[in-house]
Amino acid sequence: MRLLARREHAVGELQQKLVSRGYPSSEVTAALQQLQQQGLLSDRRFTETYVHYRVQRGDGPLKLRRELELRGVSANIFEPQLEQVDWSAVLLQHWQRRFSTPASNYREWARQARHLQSRGFSSEQIRCHMPARIERAVEDE
């Protein structure tokens, strides 16, 4: 219960933590099912909270998918949440917060693009949604 009091957890994530602490797997599974029935543990609620928090930090969809899968959340639960996000706005907002000035040459543009890729944005999203003035700097070279 202390783990749940701090923050939302995914069922798979909580199961891994408890089993790694030495609790029997069968007891952990039974306890988690009971918590789900009581509404105290929900992958859907965890996903909503997690996606909102990570989007505010500027993380992209590829990174979020990978992290949610690692936490044991089903794609049926997290895909609808990810589809609701305006990723172009998230990318642009993160770019403005991180760089604020357009790239003056291709090398700078590539550095900015690599950073956005490391945040979980695809190459296509970066090419399509990076500010036009950056693309003009690339075309000039």
Closest CA to 124 of 79, 82, 87: 87
Domain ranges of the chain: 2-83, 87-140
Beta strands in the chain (DSSP E): none
Q: In the predicted model, what is the mean pLDDT of residues 78-86?
A: 96
pLDDT at position 140: 52
Average pLDDT of the residues of the chain: 88
pTM of the model: 0.82
pLDDT at position 6: 74
Q: 125 CB contacts (<8 Å, ≥6 apart)?
A: 60, 87, 88, 91, 116
Closest CA to 62 of 116, 12, 5: 116
Four-point Cα dihedral 107, 112, 114, 117, nearest 10: -150
Q: Mind listing the pLDDT tens digit for each residue in 87-141?
A: 999 999 999 999 878 888 888 889 999 999 999 999 999 988 876 554 554 555 5
Per the model's pLDDT, the better-predicted residue between 2 and 82 turns out to be 82
